[in-house]
Amino acid sequence: MDLKFLLNKKEDKKIDEEWDPAPIMSATYYDTACTKILVAAEGKYLGYWYICDWDQERPINFVKAPKINTSFFKFMNYSDWLLVGFQNGTIQIRHKFDLNNWL
């Protein structure tokens, strides 16, 4: 059986879709070394928070968030608890190492 056709198989390429920039609504340092930041933005980015590293061009991770503009992030008393305020007046308390769940 001739298997040469396998050598010519093209890899499925993941296409990176470029989105226009959007206003940043809130940002805070995510680590004590101040090398990572947690960012909330408007537009197509709404509904997610992004963890960015200053040395990377793109976010290194993301967290699902409510589709409401985030007004502020604040780590309470420099601890691992994050207070999040939204434009509609609601707040959430999340833990730094489990941002997908809140109190």
Taking only the tens place, the pLDDT of each residue in 26-57 is: 999 988 888 999 999 999 999 999 999 999 98
Q: What is the band of 10 on the pLDDT scale with cuts at 50, 70, 90?
A: low
Beta-strand ranges (E) seen in the chain are: 24-29, 36-41, 48-53, 61-64, 70-75, 81-86, 91-95, 98-102
DSSP 35: -
Structure-token pair, residue 102: 């809140």
pLDDT score recorded for residue 57: 87
Q: What is the band of 103 on the pLDDT scale with cuts at 50, 70, 90?
A: confident
